[in-house]
Structure 1
Amino acid sequence: MSLESEQNKAIVTRFNKEAIEEGRLAVFEELIDTTFINHTAPAGMPSGKDGVIRFIIDVLRPAFPDLRVEIYDQVAEEDKVVTRKAFHGTHLGMFMGIPATGKAIVFPVIDIIRLQQGKYIEHWSIRDTHAVLQQLSQP
């Protein structure tokens, strides 16, 4: 594996741990390019840098304040990194119209990130939101 691929995997891991899990705004600013495009932005969210920050900081983290990212696999080739991961957290705030349930959830995700000069340029994702909604609706 090339040095660039290894560096890109490290950047993606850092983003998941420091930006998503810890909610560090400075890391979002450092690692997401101003030209960033999220090709699979959630409905109602902008597809640029601000949309990613808003989704994580204003939607995901308030709903699951103990959010933790578990990375299962990463594959890197050229300027792309694919990550199979899950968000783990306790539902303690509003999420997709559902008031806090206190339930622990696992939110499966597969991301493809394209990087350029150490920054996120493009993003594609498969998120199993249905699995989360099932977990929240079970008695």
Structure 2
Amino acid sequence: MSTAQAASNKATFSRFHDATNSRDLEIISKTIDELVEPDVLFHAPVPSDVTGAKALKHVWTVLLRAFPDIHVEIEDVIAEGDKVVCRNTVTGTHQGEYRGLPPTGKSVAYNEIFIARFADGRIAEIWGVVDVFTQLRQIGAIPA
């Protein structure tokens, strides 16, 4: 795969990231429809029975309800071949129900790493490692 293709995939991933930081579910949903395969394989801690792009939309629905001020700061992006790897720091304030826990008003800051595989310029597969333990500990769902 060409360097140009890796750069194009990185730019597509950046567009997706920018949409998520809009905190606007309609923008995020439209961007997912545009950039992500409907049957994307999504390997991440998703508490849901839905799959594909619907699972990704569900994740953002849940996150925006719980953390309306959520912000994803990109720390590193590496693009090679058909994959883009991104290491992020996520911050937000727990202002809505999350995993059965009522809002606490507590701030969260946790790390995540995502790998996206591209096919024909669209995201076809995603692997995610999210520090859910730290996130849940910070909002008091698990003891410190």
* SS in structure 2 of the partner of residue 14 of structure 1: helix
Say whether 1:119 aligns with 2:122. Answer: yes
Alignment counterpart, residue 69 of structure 1, candidates 52, 57, 72? 72
Aligned mates of 2:36, 2:99 — CA distance in 1: 25
Q: Which residue of 2 aligns with 1:84?
A: 87
Q: Tell me the TM-score normalised to structure 2 length.
A: 0.87
| Other-structure match for 2:21 | 21
Could you say what the CA RMSD is over the residues aligned between the two structures, in angstroms? Answer: 1.8
Query: Match for 2:134 among 125, 131, 138?
Result: 131
**CA distance 1:86–1:45, shift in 2 (3 Å):** farther
AA aligned opposite 2:4:
L
Deviations 1:69-109 (A, max 9, x none): 10000111110001000221111001112111111111311
Alignment of 1:32-43 (within 5 A): 32-43=36-47
Residue 135 of structure 1: how far off its partner (Å): 0.9
TM-score for the superposition, normalised by structure 1: 0.90
Q: Which runs of 5+ in 2 are unaligned?
A: none
Listed one character per residue, the Cα deviations across residues 5-41 of structure 1 (whole Å, up to 9, x for unaligned) are 11111111211221x2223121111011123110235
Aligned residue pairs: how many? 137
Q: Cα deviations across residues 50-84 of structure 1 (Å, max 9, x unaligned)?
A: 11101112x11110011111000011111000100
Q: Any idea what SS the aligned residue of 2:139 has?
A: helix
Contact 2:66–2:98 (CA under 8 A) maintained in structure 1? yes
- Does the CA-based 8 Å contact 2:71-2:91 persist in structure 1? yes
